[in-house]
Chain A
Amino acid sequence: MNEGHKPSRGVTRRTVLAGLGAAVAISAVGRRAAAATEKEAPQLATLAKDGKLPPLAERLPTKPMVVKPFEKVGTYGGTLRRGLRGSSDHNGILRMVGNQGLVRWNMDFTEVLPNLAESWEVSADATQFTFHLIAGVRWSDGHPFTADDVVFAIEDCVKNSELYSATPAQLTVAGKPVMAEKIDDHTVKFTFAAPNALYLENLATPLGQHPTLFAKHYCSQFLPKYNPNLEAEAKAAGVAGWTELFRAKCGDIEIPSRWGNVDKPTLDPWVVKEPYSGGATRVVMTRNPYFWQVDTEGNQLPYIDEVNFGISQDVESLMLNVISGKIDIQERHISVLANKPTLSQNMEKGDYRLLTLVPSSAQQCQIYLNMTHKDPAMRKMFADKSFRQALSLGLNRQEIIDIVYFGQSEFFQAGPRPTHPWYHEKLARQFTEFDPDKANAMLDKAGYDKKDADGIRKRPDGQRIFFAIDVIPTLYPDLVDTLELVKAHWAQIGIDIKVNTIERALYYSRGDDNAHDAAVWPGPGGLDPMLDPRDFFAFHPQGSRYAIPWTLWYTSNGEKGEEPPESQKKRFKLFDEARSTADLAKRGEIMKQLFDITAEEFETIGVCLAVGGFGVIRNNLRNVPEKQPDSWTWPNPGPALPQQFTFTS
């Protein structure tokens, strides 16, 4: 009966739960004969029959991409309900709906699979990428998707200096933007100025969506090159200039207006019906009749008719919706440990099951002492390796794990997670044991052997050792709890800190100004060590908080910031080498050398391994993997392919 195609329900779903399963089973069997010919949703079949839509064969590519359903072939119908929080939650839609890049991730987050590109060739030096697009794919308005669209998106949009004053970082290598050229209708070649072996992985992340974001036949009307009257049209639309009009109509990867225009053609499984705009209280998306994927039996995806994102201003009311069964799948916003007891208790009432999220982060709480501090005395202290090692030994990690993380973690410093093939024992576990005696001895030896009346150590210049650690309480309440314990632990070895709870914009501007003593953040790079290596060397201008001036030096090719020490430069070089090595095994060897240096330098102090989040799935929603990576680069649940999620009766 699973293959039976049923018209959309809504009420039926609940009626069935009340115990009418048998009746539905009979009716489903009755429709089975028809299912063999109908390979599309009933509403679309009706539209096609009435001539309002071309027949399915003309809407699908000749060789549509076949997706193997996670559990079983599904049935058409239903509305998937999910929650957004207020404004600026556009990525909540992106993660669910907008993941149709040239390539995509596999479920395990280990391999890049074909998506809109059915195959590709990479030149030996990883500078040229030739993508073969699936022939016959159409935009949601029925217009063919071809190499012209990809070239248009790169050459006319992304490389337009008025629209993008700088080309997105993913598409820039060695300071030069990529060059896209059409080989034939379904073949497009990307040429980089220097090797870029990581490009395929990057292309599978949300920030890699540019090549398939802009439909030429639609978006070209918002570019002056194709439309001479554009300035006048922009004025008439009430916006200041054509660039604003372009963004309002065609959007960009992660801005709200991407979901604010119902006319914009997309390649997503669902298209906007009620847009995400400033006044919206919900966003409704409806199936794309031209979606180019089918299941293993040739049925056009998606199975589910509509996706309804309710906008809650408040997480508590979102929680209320979840426990009363008004949400079909949700992990975003509710996935904090504190909510787990409530959600577990109400599983029966809300008729849902729990979803396990495997963190892609490495570290739950990474402490970054600012080694490039503006005050020379502080800088000298933080730059002293034995000082940092002593602080690490002074942490009672077991207590933190027991009290703050309910015992669900293990001692960890940095680096790929224990399950990752690149796991590095020394980097991950050194100096994690609790040894205050040794810590005290190390601090004495490092020249901090005098103490004041409170038992706090003094620096050689007579100042007591005191620094503030910035943390954002509204964002990571657990890190505040952790730091309170850290403060107590470090007081025992004669170090005084202040848990500096600040507002998040201030946290960022203090970092940008290099005005912080120290800061905490969850450390990434557990499952995606190549994509976010900020804890392994000074990589991220906002994230590598132990030495932001060094990262500026790295990203600006030595023009800005401050020249880093030799060991950092060596790692920049190793990382650049790894980035241009296509062979995964070889890349692993290079990264191991990099990890060796990182372990030796011991720049950041980690507390414990990142703890998994969770979510809920309604029991009648199937084909959802109950264990998913949790990451921005694997933008869950998108890569689990929501288009093959289905409701059972």
Chain B
Amino acid sequence: MLKFIVKRLFWMVPSLFAVSFLAFVLIQLPPGDFVTTYIATLAASNEIVDQNMAAQLRERFGLGDPVLVQYFKWMWGILSRGDFGISFEWQQPVSGLIWERMALTLVLAVASLLATWAIALPIGVFSAVRKYSIGDYFFTAFSFFGLSVPSFLLALVLMYVAAVEFGQDVGGLFSPEFETASWSIAKMLDLLSHLWLPVAILAVSSTASLIRVMRANMLDELPKPYVTTARAKGLSEFRLLTKYPMRIALNPFISTIAWLLPNLISGSVVVAIVLNLPTAAPLLLQSLMAQDMYLAGAFVLLICALTLIGSLISDILLALVDPRIRLE
């Protein structure tokens, strides 16, 4: 097992390089560069940039260098001194911008993940065991409804109702008084009181597919002989379900942990923008639109690293949970 983990960790290094290079090139592909988009953004409000200024910005950011040179300069900074470069837009070191946002993103992602599982697992098992019952139809209909309503629309409707009908403050993850406060118990509680809305919205959309997956897997397992044997030996129905078929049926949940992290970041972009959440998603989108390469590159790199770590975790968990899987 240890050998496997070490080997996997070793392979992550070239993967990360490949991915980061691809990301860097992709960010560069759209026409123009940061300065072009910067000028275009200002022009959008009919605001004018000094012409001399534009030329000098380009020079200062080294935008004249070939992509390869820019990439190696950037990579060298990260490897030699953990320097992710400067965000063009903010004139701030990238590392200062991303960590807090990444932390909040993880909080939101994990919370949504747990909420999704907490809803999807029992319903999926229930739907499978009570196949074609009224309850099955009800939950199926409910989950498809959740799947079909775009989450940003749900967010907008909920916000409208809360803001216009009830005069509530919506959007953001903190109350105004806590926004810039340092971390404390009170701030944590404030975060929790704001977290439920985005978590609910994100969970609604991803629950449906998981319910279907769980239901289908359980239906595969339930008629198998080992279930019949266990039942014949007199095991209680609840113990029987949780001990054997559910363990096997969980396989897809665990093997998709790796995708969940990037999915929750990219999938929540629109919701995060609508709800004004201080997570990584809006900053990532903006940095991509502005061609703020180092900031966008750092985000993509981190998301890739998370994916790789996630897939390692899911492999280890699979080996632990599913008795059919062996490393050799």
Contacts and interface: CB of A to CB of B under 8 A. Distances in A.
B46 A166 contact: no
A168 interface: yes
Interface in B99-118: 100-101
A244 interface: yes
Contacts of A252: 53
Contacts of B278: 279, 281
A256 B89 contact: yes
Interface stretch (B34-42, B123-131, B133-141, B201-209): B34-42
A279 B97 contact: yes
B282 interface: yes
Contacts of A255: 91
A406 interface: no
Contacts of A541: 51
B36 A508 contact: yes
A522 interface: yes
B91 A632 contact: no
B32 A238 contact: no
A507 B40 contact: yes
A238 B83 contact: yes
Contacts of B40: 504-505, 507-508
A172 B52 contact: yes
Interface string A198-209: 000000001100
A218 interface: no
Interface in A268-314: 274, 277-279, 281-282, 311-314
A506 interface: yes
Contact of A504 (B44, B45, B95, B167): B44
Contact of A542 (B39, B83, B290): B39
A254 B92 contact: no
A430 to B, nearest CB: 26
Contact of B89 (A278, A475, A631): A278
A373 interface: no
B90 A256 contact: yes
A312 B53 CA distance: 28
Contact of B97 (A207, A278, A312, A361): A278
Contact of A238 (B31, B60, B93): B93
Contact of B273 (A91, A313, A320, A542): A313
A88 B83 contact: no
B274 A281 contact: no
B50 A170 contact: yes
A326 B164 CA distance: 11
A505 B32 contact: yes
Interface stretch (B3-11, B155-163, B245-253, B313-321): B155-163
B297 interface: no
Contacts of A257: 90-92
Q: Tell me if B's interface is mostly helix, strand, loop or mixed.
A: helix
A324 B36 contact: no
A283 B286 CA distance: 18
Given A314-B273, A316-B156, A324-B167, A254 B45 contact: no
Contacts of A168: 50, 52-53
B22 interface: no
A247 interface: yes
B30 interface: yes
A244 B276 contact: no
A169 interface: yes
A524 interface: yes
A555 interface: yes
B278 to A, nearest CB: 5
A243 B60 contact: yes
Nearest to B55: A166
Interface residues of B, number: 62
Interface in B275-315: 275-276, 278, 282-283, 286, 290-291, 295
Interface in A569-602: none
Given A172-B52, A238-B83, A281-B278, A91 B42 contact: yes
Nearest to B270: A314
B171 interface: yes
A509 B90 contact: no
A524 B171 CA distance: 37
Interface string A492-514: 00000000000111111110100
Which size bracket describes the interface of A in this complex? 35 or more
Contacts of A324: 163-164, 167
A39 interface: no
Contacts of A522: 46
A207 B42 CA distance: 13
Contacts of A532: 48
Interface in B140-176: 156, 159-160, 163-164, 167, 171-172, 174, 176
A323 B91 contact: no
A86 B30 contact: no
B32 A244 contact: no
B180 interface: yes
A86 B32 CA distance: 21
Contact of B31 (A240, A278, A506): A506
Given A317-B159, A324-B167, A508-B32, A277 B37 contact: no
B220 interface: no
Given A207-B50, A247-B91, A278-B295, A87 B286 contact: yes
Interface centre among B42, B167, B171, B174 (most CB of A within 10 A): B171
B86 interface: yes
A278 B52 contact: no
A5 interface: no
A164 interface: yes
A86 B48 contact: no
A278 B284 CA distance: 11
Given A243-B60, A632-B45, A508 B39 contact: yes
Nearest to A253: B50
A428 to B, nearest CB: 20
Nearest to B291: A505
A88 B276 contact: no
Contacts of A281: 172, 174, 179, 276, 278
Contacts of B55: 165-166
A26 B278 CA distance: 44
B32 A169 contact: no
B47 interface: yes
B56 interface: yes
A639 interface: no
Contact of A274 (B32, B43, B180, B283): B180
A164 B51 CA distance: 12
Contacts of B47: 91, 206, 254, 632
B52 A317 contact: no
B86 A244 contact: yes
Nearest to A238: B93
A507 B278 CA distance: 31
A632 B286 CA distance: 24
A211 interface: no
A239 interface: yes
B46 A164 contact: no
B36 A239 contact: no
A361 B46 contact: yes
Given A257-B92, A320-B159, A320-B163, A87 B290 contact: yes
A332 interface: yes
Interface in A304-354: 311-314, 316-317, 320-321, 323-324, 326, 332, 349
A323 B160 CA distance: 10
B282 to A, nearest CB: 5
A461 to B, nearest CB: 30
A512 B278 CA distance: 36
Q: Which 3 residue pairs are nearest across A and B when measured between Cβ atoms?
A: A166-B52, A505-B32, A278-B97
Given A504-B40, A542-B39, 17 more contacts: A86-B286, A88-B42, A166-B56, A207-B48, A248-B91, A254-B42, A254-B47, A255-B91, A278-B96, A281-B276, A317-B274, A321-B163, A475-B44, A505-B40, A505-B291, A508-B39, A508-B43
6 contacts: A87-B283, A91-B47, A172-B52, A313-B286, A503-B30, A542-B43
